[in-house]
Structure 1
């Protein structure tokens, strides 16, 4: 049995010589002091700024400098870019815009909200000929996605670059193969620039209808595909034997995609790519084996896409334990020696730290025996890698004593607890299994911040999810159902439930009486294109969509024209999950004791914690005088050279500043809507600003539509 924790560079890679990668230069220098020129601050994804005007002493004097109201409202997960006094961002319906970064005045806006793919966006990518801000503006372009389309816009005017692809855009299905044709492929996260290349993340379905998640680089000037790395290997490629034969041809196995973004060491030409799980996420009977390169941190030659090294964090993933955020590039000191490192946070609540060039773990990682799945047809992997240091930043298990003391339904929670399985890497089961930390982490897409001293700052969720794995209905069991209900049962019941009530706590809206809130055209568009966490059901025919909408509108008497397939064209998987369900009481309050969200400072030189505090409050409990519970949070921190850490992220709608050395709260304000996004800080003229997108619309928080910038008087 082949057990690979770490694979060093292949022989073919060694031929190009280590000297090319072992340069004296390092890409951990702080990014431009006035700009926030790339996603999460720079190519190192450090969330770090060298600006010092706003300090722990004067941060209490911050006031609103300007606000920008988008023409629509809803989730805004964007980390905006600021280059030479211009701010670039996106609206809730994914229109790109440019603002005067000192006043918030709109310069241009691109896109029609009526044509939006109804997805979320975490921002845009900026490129110009020499990749340095301040050069020839006529060469500068903004690259961003709407659905499966990657657009290139003139940075000054917002108009599409006609020489890029087909009239200013390309389709991200390109290079994924025939298996991806007509499948759900979008991108939520900005691409990564290397020279004249943009390497794109993609989000896919997580079911058996998923497209393959190959990593691809496109020419920024022309849109042409330059290289492809196959995350599901093809014959002759490394890792091919970790899947069943010819898996790469299959239409019922996909995923292993990068959706969370990448980091790049430009001086060395190394791209760091964290990948997701293979699909279907929770049952691997059709993909027996270790499944490289799913759940891997990949180091690729940024020019060619060739693999340099990899580390697989979860073998044969059946828990949806994909990497949730880009890695951080930083320099640490180990045994008196400075080492350029790459750090990767995980949904499980661990930090994985490697030598950036060799892939050698800087703290030991041990293959550990884990429980075996008893689901027929499943062959779970017998061991999983567990880091020995740093300690996990999120709890790994809980007992009866850890059930929520503030819930009035403790008896019900206790009953659920006692009949369900739990424990690290405990496979899913018919009676239900706790996934803890939950499916959103641990760490989440906001990612971690690092500063030049080697300290990591990471916010974490501590919500338990409770999921059962049940036999999927056979076609003859569906035959008695109406066409619309059959389609709902196969495609929708896992998230919205058998009674269509959904779960606000888990992020899935009720579909009961949906016709009172939306018209058929809107609902059909969501089914086709997806929205938020929901993928688009591109495999359904027009007749099937019509039948499903009629069922949702309680009006199946309307005859659907065209043929209705037996539950759609999804490949059949013998098991389905009970639903994406958080462990909560009937009011949505967490089933476990607080803290439900934390903020952590970890010294990656030593692997020791500097401090750990609850982050956020549960509004319902805070109103009763119960504070410091922490809350679920989405969006990352920003740290500055002056000693501050800024973070929003919590559903209580606060924007906070902490002393990064001690974790002491030294400033907070209430935003117009919760800021489920990572802030940015920049300077225009002599003034430093901090800006945050306030879209709300998660965790039951109200919707918003504003970007809010703060500065000193």
Structure 2
């Protein structure tokens, strides 16, 4: 593909987020202006588009595939995908060999092949132009809820894919699979949740592997094309926070796995979290880079984590390129749980997010805010990473459940080995409670097992990321609630495993008022048996009474790290809260989702910030902001850059779903230097 195109998710097979274009540079970026805008409809939008031969390929929130004129934003064609649901689709895959071409995209549990010229189905691919990813996992399709939210990667004439699945049982058992891009035929499978007798199964209790779920490759992958190696980051095993039924290290969960792209054979793996009980999925694709150590050039792969660490390995051997210590951490106090006694901690680079919340770090924003969070903090456990959650007492998780790093990924300068990473830097809390009384199919039990982790045992949620379900049946039609549960939406996976009786029981429970606080119940049931089990009471940000983070800023950062020697070159706040900026606190940083884009001219572009809806260009050498534009919605996606019609464009997807209090809708916005006319479509 020409260097003027953005033909691969992440910019190239190695996921470097790097554009060789130089038309927009540090001297003229201040004149950058909107060139066109395409409105994509209501809902969340996280797609990083492709741009090839003057055509931009993207998705709408309704999971319609669209093709736009890359110079004007004019719609060329649109294709609705049946049975797609409302899961995010973060990118697409384009395969071309001579006159043959395929546009491959995930649509719920389907891998779909389209003709890039008009969006028509490639009827010779799979059945009617699509492959059902629920097949071949050794479980009935009703027990493997999954969706393909990140695009597959290409190796020759195969597309290699993973999937997203539920966070609680039954969840699909993780697998990486390669399909023929022409026919959809399965070429190979690597079971990330190993089958009985396969390598890795010895890290699970006898019999547990038969019902194991999770251990899935949801963030996306990268490929070393020269060597034919695909690098696969994996998530945690289900259930996320209580692992009494899966004692052991639980390979290949929370691991970076290197596979032979031609056969699926495992070459090496490195487990970054053993027996995860903190939902510390590897959150983003790894990135390929070349570094210099002791005068020797080494082809490396780097993996970022939610807990604020960067690991770097030799691509061929899997050997860590900076020292890693296995450090001891506290045992679990929850009946039945057996936390792994050690976890790996890299000595370099230094963590890119803070690791332990102490009393002197609590917010000083106002006296009232400081007093409130100090009082709350006194009742919490805060000892840093890898402290097991407790029953009846909140534990600080810092960085929070949303990172550290998130799904947007990182940018790397292939010329220097400098890596650029954005991070969240706010504390959350976690807590366990005994499961609800009653049978496993009771509405309350189903809610506690499958819904409470996000929406809370008290149904209050943690808005806006995790909406409150208090009174949900009074605010929405039953059919609409049913549809969201079955199809999923945004962060919420589809729960296709529920049968009719279970669905009726769950809806009946949601009609009842939420009168019991499971935290209070937990204090009276601390001696519950492990057979009864424990549930996570819900994701909770640790905030002050006005919903700002309870820690002193920065709450979001952008960093440049020299991966040759592990030095942090600079770190600056990323984002702001407009109301606080008006009050004289402009550089707090904020939550951010979506990654950076680096250009050969030394510019680092990123949206990502939820509250200020800004799109920024940093000087990659210094971290200074050189340009900023207000987007119509938050740019919670990774931007791309390409050249068309003689102009360099930078395009980002924006949507209002992350901030319900702000403007709603979604758009693709293209920026370019002043020149030919702009448009809106």
Q: Flag whether TM exceeds 0.5 (same fold).
A: yes
1:458 corresponds to which residue?
421
Aligned partners of 1:235 and 1:499: how far apart in 2?
Answer: 39
Aligned partners of 1:522 and 1:142: how far apart in 2?
Answer: 31
2:30 corresponds to which residue?
60
Q: Is the 8 A contact 2:438 2:445 kept in 1?
A: no
Q: Is the 8 A contact 1:215 1:231 kept in 2?
A: yes
> Which has the larger displacement, 303-312 or 175-184?
175-184
Q: How far does the alpha carbon of each residue in 1:412-465 deviate from its partner, in whole angstroms, 9 at most, with x for none?
A: 322321222222211111212111111111000001100121000000001211
What are the equivalent positions in structure 2 for 1:1-40 lying under 5 Å apart? 32-40=2-10
Q: CA deviation at 1:626?
A: 1.1
Pick from 410, 429, 432: which aligns with 1:448? 410
Pick from 526, 530, 538: which aligns with 2:484? 526
Aligned partners of 2:668 and 2:479: how far apart in 1?
Answer: 30
Pick from 5, 9, 13: which aligns with 1:43? 13
2:628 corresponds to which residue?
668
Aligned partners of 1:110 and 1:526: how far apart in 2?
Answer: 22
1:633 corresponds to which residue?
592
2:434 corresponds to which residue?
471
Aligned partners of 1:244 and 1:550: how far apart in 2?
Answer: 36
Aligned partners of 1:573 and 1:144: how far apart in 2?
Answer: 41
2:523 corresponds to which residue?
none
Q: CA deviation at 1:494?
A: 3.6
Q: How far does the alpha carbon of each residue in 1:482-536 deviate from its partner, in whole angstroms, 9 at most, with x for none?
A: x65564455433432355332215x111234445653322211111121111122
Q: Is the 8 A contact 1:309 1:359 kept in 2?
A: yes
SS at match of 1:278: coil
Aligned partners of 1:676 and 1:512: how far apart in 2?
Answer: 27
Q: CA deviation at 1:179?
A: 5.8
2:86 corresponds to which residue?
118
1:168 corresponds to which residue?
129
Q: CA deviation at 1:39?
A: 0.4
1:152 corresponds to which residue?
113
- 1:542 paired to 2:542: no
1:438 corresponds to which residue?
400
- 1:421 paired to 2:381: yes
Q: How far does the alpha carbon of each residue in 1:237-272 deviate from its partner, in whole angstroms, 9 at most, with x for none?
A: 22221111233322xx21111100000011110000
Q: CA deviation at 1:73?
A: 1.4
C-alpha RMSD of the superposition: 2.0
Aligned partners of 2:448 and 2:626: how far apart in 1?
Answer: 50
Aligned partners of 1:500 and 1:223: how far apart in 2?
Answer: 42
Q: Is the 8 A contact 1:75 1:703 kept in 2?
A: no
1:361 corresponds to which residue?
320
SS at match of 1:178: coil
Pick from 171, 177, 192: which aligns with 1:210? 171
Aligned partners of 1:486 and 1:686: how far apart in 2?
Answer: 60
SS at match of 2:373: helix
1:91 corresponds to which residue?
60
Aligned partners of 2:31 and 2:450: how far apart in 1?
Answer: 52
Q: CA deviation at 1:538?
A: 2.1
Q: How far does the alpha carbon of each residue in 1:190-231 deviate from its partner, in whole angstroms, 9 at most, with x for none?
A: 111111111112001011221101111111111111111111
Pick from 600, 603, 611: which aligns with 1:644? 603
Pick from 200, 206, 209: which aligns with 2:161? 200
2:558 corresponds to which residue?
599
Aligned partners of 1:555 and 1:337: how far apart in 2?
Answer: 65
Aligned partners of 1:380 and 1:552: how far apart in 2?
Answer: 33
1:657 corresponds to which residue?
617
Structure 1 residues 414 and 123: alpha-carbon distance in aligned structure 2, compared to 1, 3 A threshold: same
Aligned partners of 2:559 and 2:590: how far apart in 1?
Answer: 14
Pick from 258, 263, 276: which aligns with 1:304? 263
SS at match of 2:61: coil
Q: How far does the alpha carbon of each residue in 1:13-72 deviate from its partner, in whole angstroms, 9 at most, with x for none?
A: xxxxxxxxxxxxxxxxxx8420000101110100001000000110011111111111x2
Aligned partners of 1:232 and 1:515: how far apart in 2?
Answer: 37
For normalisation by structure 1, the TM-score amounts to 0.88
- 1:693 paired to 2:663: no
Q: Is the 8 A contact 2:162 2:175 kept in 1?
A: no
Q: How far does the alpha carbon of each residue in 1:464-483 deviate from its partner, in whole angstroms, 9 at most, with x for none?
A: 1101111112327x99xxx6
Aligned partners of 2:263 and 2:4: how far apart in 1?
Answer: 32
Pick from 546, 550, 554: which aligns with 1:587? 546
SS at match of 1:292: coil
Q: How many pairs are equivalent?
A: 653
SS at match of 1:411: helix
Q: Is the 8 A contact 2:456 2:539 kept in 1?
A: no
Aligned partners of 2:284 and 2:141: how far apart in 1?
Answer: 24
Aligned partners of 2:446 and 2:243: how far apart in 1?
Answer: 23
Q: Is the 8 A contact 2:93 2:103 kept in 1?
A: yes
2:678 corresponds to which residue?
none
SS at match of 1:475: coil
Q: Is the 8 A contact 1:179 1:249 kept in 2?
A: no
Structure 1 residues 441 and 555: alpha-carbon distance in aligned structure 2, compared to 1, 3 A threshold: closer
Q: Is the 8 A contact 2:654 2:668 kept in 1?
A: yes
Q: CA deviation at 1:378?
A: 1.1
Q: CA deviation at 1:553?
A: 5.3
2:200 corresponds to which residue?
239
Pick from 536, 546, 553: which aligns with 1:577? 536
Q: Is the 8 A contact 1:180 1:212 kept in 2?
A: no
What are the equivalent positions in structure 2 for 1:233-632 lying under 5 Å apart? 233-250=194-211, 253-406=212-365, 408-422=368-382, 423-430=384-391, 431-452=393-414, 453-475=416-438, 484=443, 487-505=446-464, 507-514=465-472, 518-552=476-510, 574-632=533-591
Q: Is the 8 A contact 1:93 1:118 kept in 2?
A: yes
For normalisation by structure 2, the TM-score amounts to 0.92
